[in-house]
């Protein structure tokens, strides 16, 4: 079994065992990453490194940029932390989805007074 197959098996086993939805998200990201970057598969085979521990690394990275009581990373920043945790240099060549904030629905201007409704003059 080659490194890609072994890494895939290791990642899927952890994803199946975990109830944490973020383990599944990061696992899918890593599966896609090794499909496009098979040379990195061996780095995912380290027995001491897990998807769950990579989430902890993301938490620590977010705390460094914490503002008030909020700590966040963008998708790209989070995935970069995961790759760094596993010792993978460079950026992922996986196409990442970009979530967009829906634009505020336009509302027609409506201006009426109570007098207008009551038929006042």
CB 33 within 8 A of CB 41: no
The span from the CA of 100 to the CA of 95, in Å, is 16
Report angle CA 83, 87, 90 to the nearest 5 degrees.
55
pTM for the model stands at 0.72
Q: Using alpha carbons, select from 35, 36, 27 the residue that is nearest to residue 86.
A: 27
3-state secondary structure at position 67: strand
Residue 97 confidence (pLDDT): 43
State residue 69's pLDDT score: 86
What does the pLDDT profile of the chain (121 residues) look like in tens digits?
799 999 999 999 999 999 999 999 999 999 999 999 999 999 999 999 999 999 999 999 999 988 888 888 999 999 999 999 999 986 655 444 434 445 555 555 556 666 766 766 5
């Amino acid at each position: 079994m080659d490194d890609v197959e072994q890494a895939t098996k290791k990642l899927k086993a952890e994803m199946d065992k975990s109830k944490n939805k973020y383990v599944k998200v990061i696992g899918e990201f890593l599966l896609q990453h090794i499909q496009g970057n098979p040379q990195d598969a061996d780095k995912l085979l380290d027995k001491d490194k897990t998807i769950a521990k990579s989430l902890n690394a993301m938490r620590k990275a977010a705390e460094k940029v914490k503002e008030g009581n909020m700590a966040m990373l963008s998708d790209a920043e989070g995935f970069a932390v995961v790759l760094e945790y596993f010792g993978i240099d460079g950026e992922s060549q996986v196409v990442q989805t970009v979530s967009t904030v829906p634009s505020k629905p336009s509302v027609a201007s409506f201006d009426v007074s109570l007098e207008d409704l009551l038929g006042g003059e």
